[in-house]
Amino acid sequence: MSKNRYRNKAPYSTLHPDARHWTRKGNSWKQKVGYDTEGEAWEFLNQNPRLKAIGEKPYFCELCSRWHIGRLHK
């Protein structure tokens, strides 16, 4: 992995999509589920306490202007 010869064919954005909006599915990336309001996101979270327990919470996504659920890495 010394050089990336295919850089021109594989845009940086595809290799490293914004983690706020994309989620890893095996070898590919998938858009996160979006909610129109923070309330809707919380509703889903309250129905899935397991997610809440591991620290997932709603956050606003600037890429699609909707709410996603996840853990923000800081």
Q: What does the binding site for Zn ion look like in residue numbers (CB under 5 A)?
A: 21, 61, 63-64
Q: Smaller CB distance to Zn ion: residue 4 or 60? A: 60
Other beta carbons within 10 angstroms of residue 43's beta carbon come to: 13
Tell me which long-range contacts 10-18 makes (C-beta under 8 A, separation of at least 24).
18/63
d(CA 49, CA 9): 42
Shorter beta-carbon distance to Zn ion: residue 51 or 59: 59
Minimum CB distance to Zn ion, residue 32 (Å): 6
Please choose, from the candidates 13, 41, 50, the residue with its C-alpha nearest in 3D space to the C-alpha of residue 29.
13
CB of 5 to Zn ion, least distance (A): 31
> Minimum CB separation from Zn ion for residue 72, in Å?
13
Residue among 15 and 64 whose Cβ is closer to Zn ion: 64
